[in-house]
Amino acid sequence: ILNVEQSPQSLHVQEGDSTNFTCSFPSSNFYALHWYRWETAKSPEALFVMTLNGDEKKKGRISATLNTKEGYSYLYIKGSQPEDSATYLCALNFGNEKLTFGTGTRLTIIP
Amino acid sequence: KAGVTQTPRYLIKTRGQQVTLSCSPISGHRSVSWYQQTPGQGLQFLFEYFSETQRNKGNFPGRFSGRQFSNSRSEMNVSTLELGDSALYLCASSLRQGAYNEQFFGPGTRLTVL
């Protein structure tokens, strides 16, 4: 069983500050790494699909990097806003439709 | 374009009963996956259907089953419910199979087993 670890488990950040959190994995034997944002009472929303060529992905104030050699992916949020409050999940895909999820980082933005 | 819909949103059952959950994927999506979320466990993969066939299966007992219809709608059935089956059940659809395909999630069905 492959453990996808996310840290920290929870995070409180002042509005306007930037933050980042980590998804780590023991093996690079996967095809893609997915990041999701999950707001309370809503559906998980896909943020990025990272492939093994190590691209940085960016969407507005949010970006992600993938380092397969060291076994981690970072998600960065620049200038946090209240609407960024959510649980951020990473998941690995090993070549089929099964996503292996981490337990998430719960982010709370303090106005 | 309508998103993934799941019915019912909330369900209360008692131990020993069975339950059927429904998932309607985004129009045109042919792959439907099911996940279970319990506190402290994160999202656990149950199974995936594509073109009415189960293509992938997670590590769950045989009490958990599913099917997919020709219109890609999917149902998940849990028989002989146990207290530990209380969870949020999410389904996700994607246009086709593949590691790079974005999966779109529904809002989930919250099942409580008493």
Which chain A residue shows the shortest CA-CA distance from B9? Answer: A41
Alpha carbons B30 and B26: distance in angstroms, whole number = 9
Round to whole Å and give the CA distance between B105 and B9: 14
| B90 contacts A44? CB cut-off 8 A | yes
C-alpha angle A85-A87-A90 in degrees, rounded to nearest 5? 135
Which residue of chain A comes nearest to B97, CA vs CA? A97
Q: Which of A5, A35, A43, A87 to mutate to test the interface with B (most CBs of B within 10 A)?
A: A43
Query: pLDDT over 90 for what percent of chain A?
Result: 72
In chain B, the residue whose alpha carbon lies closest to the alpha carbon of A30 is B99
Contact between chains at B105 and A44 (C-beta distance less than 8 A): yes
**Contact assessment for residue A13 and residue A79, using Cβ atoms and an 8 Å cutoff:** no
Note whether A75 and A60 are within 8 A (CB). Answer: no
Do B66 and B54 meet the contact criterion of CB atoms below 8 Å apart? yes
pLDDT band, very low/low/confident/very high, at A18 (cuts 50, 70, 90): very high
- State the nearest Cα–Cα gap between A101 and chain B, in angstroms: 6
Nearest to A81 by CA among A64, A65, A63, A61: A61
Rounded to 5°, angle at Cα B40 from B35 and A58: 65
Give pLDDT tens digits for B4-53: 999 999 999 999 999 999 999 999 999 999 999 998 788 999 999 999 99
CA separation, residue A29 to residues A94, B13, B110 (Å): 7, 40, 33
pLDDT over 90 (residue A54): no
Cβ distance A30 to B108 less than 8 Å, yes or no, reads no
Render pLDDT for A82-97 as a digit per residue (tens, 0 to 9). Answer: 999 999 999 998 877 7
Span B52-110, pLDDT tens digits: 999 989 999 999 999 999 999 999 999 999 999 999 999 999 987 676 778 999 999 99
